[in-house]
Amino acid sequence: MGLGTENSGSEGDRTMKPGDKVMVPRTGGGYSLGEIIEIYTDGRARVTFPIGNTFRGKPRPLVGMGYKTVKLSKLRPVKEAD
């Protein structure tokens, strides 16, 4: 468990933190809206996101939440409306 918050510069100087909404890259090539739940010191983050009919490229009979560890540079920050 780390506390690093660097974003590898892919989104400018924006610092990501737990609780931030992000677009999470999916195995199939698309993105899903998700949330950062933890940031590690090695430039990766643990994220959660809703999953539908597929997860890790395979059919999934139950809808639920997915969890994965992703490089911060692969996440797209979502600006929340005021």
Q: What is the CATH number of the domain that holds 75?
A: 2.30.30.140
Range(s) of the domain holding residue 3: 1-82
Number of domains in the chain: 1
CA distance 45 to 75: 9
Structure confidence at residue 28 (pLDDT): 78
Per-residue pLDDT of the chain (82 residues; tens, 9 = 90+): 344 434 344 443 368 999 999 999 987 788 999 999 999 999 999 999 987 777 677 777 666 888 999 999 999 999 876 5
Name 49's Cβ contacts closer than 8 Å, sequence gap at least 6: 24, 32, 33, 34, 35, 65, 66, 68
Record the pTM.
Answer: 0.70
